[in-house]
Structure 1
């Protein structure tokens, strides 16, 4: 088994496939390194693909101290993967929790980025949802504390933005659920409290996101309600970004709608690789509606 070690001594398990320009995939809370299998099978034909389990997600280390989990740690763990594999720059692709880490990595370490893909990103970001999100995160963390993973993870897999996956692809959803209940309960609870609950809102990071100069693709499902408005915010704020919305899709878009996700990502990466991705024309942000002002 292959591991890299972070600067605070946590071992992160990773796998890679393919060769060429590197692409690092960063998973969501309900996933792990296995969550990107449809992408590795497709993109390893074209790229050097790396997927890893975040701290707290087996077979990576599961630190007992909740203080070893944070948004900054999640961001810097991407850097640890690059450093451990001797990679100077990479395309970074993240979903949900991994999408937040990808955004933070983009404005903190721009010199390490070829492009950013931010999928399903926005849970708890809207200003009027912050208290509700923190309350629900604590309830979920306590369920991971108190209940078997079969029960706590199984119910998490049936959230309001997960049932689309169940309806669109019952076999795929069952595999997703079975992998989720194999997670560490301690790691899940610590990640909920250390990363999810305490991360800053995207609406408080407007200035930082506006500095992102790397080509950026934002992808969301049209029934991933907590991510729709935040995705539009990122589209407005990041001058090098494009927004794609996948119809009749929920949160877990890379495995719920893998063909569409892969198509969008491949077109994006190709444009970046050949130098055809351009920043937004500033005239598109004029305050007028019809161009009369």
Structure 2
């Protein structure tokens, strides 16, 4: 089943490997289904691993109209993948744009999630930078449209939170940049306008997060500046949320630090499946510094 079809007739490219409890991997804006290869190779040993190309990312269908893209549609597409594969529940793992999708999946479809992992999710969430982020998103869309993906990818791949990957692993970064350059020009521009520039701030969803009763793992790189504060916010408001911060690391967590990413994810999934990823002990009062009585 290389393609599945969503409710609006969009075909999404799907790949899977392994057997066991399902894990659905949702890619970031700068990546695609191939970006999860280090995770599929590791987790397919014990799990049924599924990844797919979001709409706008060949070999999935590409729509030029930004109205065919949104945060809600992204969640609906993730559900459509599970439905087509006959999967009732899965661990949902997303990076960046995919991390936002994973969080919204947990809000909208909690009964379909065994757990939620959101890595590098935060761009545009900070209220003081919200307008700036929307403007930059539209400028990036223009860049892809005017220069084509093959050209603009080299600019995008050298962002302030991407150069860490280049410095640590030049070959891995070059592969990431090359694959980004293979993306659809139309799809990249429409995704940036329809999803990135329009998605709600995480801070506007606090009531939903406080009510979310799912095991959640948030991961962020300590040099991915605009994800750090949102990561701390999510840790504080989601009842069963754990936070992992990777040292000297940027945005492309799963490729930049694959062993560390896989180790944290494997421990989280095992703990969640054991029913031990609990709410914070009420005795761990954040207002208390030391016990005096």
> Residues 25 and 51 of structure 2 are in contact (CA less than 8 Å); yes or no, is this contact kept in structure 1?
yes
Instruction: Please say if 1:249 is aligned against 2:279.
Output: no
Report the Cα offset of residue 150 of structure 1.
Answer: 2.2
The equivalent of 1:8 in structure 2 is 8
Runs of 5+ consecutive residues of structure 2 not aligned to the other structure = none
The equivalent of 1:49 in structure 2 is 49
The equivalent of 1:276 in structure 2 is 276
Instruction: Please say if 1:211 is aligned against 2:208.
Output: no
> Residues 26 and 93 of structure 2 are in contact (CA less than 8 Å); yes or no, is this contact kept in structure 1?
yes
**Superimposed CA distance per residue, residues 200-224 of structure 1 (whole angstroms, 9 cap, x where no aligned partner):** 0001111111121111110011101
Normalised to the residue count of structure 1, the TM-score between the two structures is: 0.97
Q: How many residues in Structure 1 have an aligned counterpart in Structure 2?
A: 293
The equivalent of 2:139 in structure 1 is 139
Report the Cα offset of residue 282 of structure 1.
Answer: 3.2
The equivalent of 1:112 in structure 2 is 112
Matched position secondary structure for 2:178: helix
**Superimposed CA distance per residue, residues 40-64 of structure 1 (whole angstroms, 9 cap, x where no aligned partner):** 0000001000000000011100012
Distance 1:283 1:155, change over 3 A: same
Matched position secondary structure for 1:280: coil
> Residues 149 and 188 of structure 2 are in contact (CA less than 8 Å); yes or no, is this contact kept in structure 1?
no
Report the Cα offset of residue 135 of structure 1.
Answer: 1.1
Matched position secondary structure for 2:276: coil
Report the Cα offset of residue 288 of structure 1.
Answer: 4.4
Q: How do residues 1-293 of structure 1 correspond to structure 2 at under 5 angstroms?
A: 2-285=2-285, 287-290=287-290
Name the CA distance, whole Å, in 1 between partners of 2:88 and 2:106.
Answer: 14
**Superimposed CA distance per residue, residues 37-92 of structure 1 (whole angstroms, 9 cap, x where no aligned partner):** 00000000010000000000111000122101000011111101110100000000
**Superimposed CA distance per residue, residues 139-165 of structure 1 (whole angstroms, 9 cap, x where no aligned partner):** 100011111222211110000000000
Normalised to the residue count of structure 2, the TM-score between the two structures is: 0.97
Name the CA distance, whole Å, in 1 between partners of 2:202 and 2:290.
Answer: 29
Report the Cα offset of residue 289 of structure 1.
Answer: 4.1
Runs of 5+ consecutive residues of structure 1 not aligned to the other structure = none
Report the Cα offset of residue 284 of structure 1.
Answer: 3.0
**Superimposed CA distance per residue, residues 94-116 of structure 1 (whole angstroms, 9 cap, x where no aligned partner):** 00000000000001111001001
**Superimposed CA distance per residue, residues 178-230 of structure 1 (whole angstroms, 9 cap, x where no aligned partner):** 00000001000000000000000001111111121111110011101010000
Matched position secondary structure for 2:4: strand
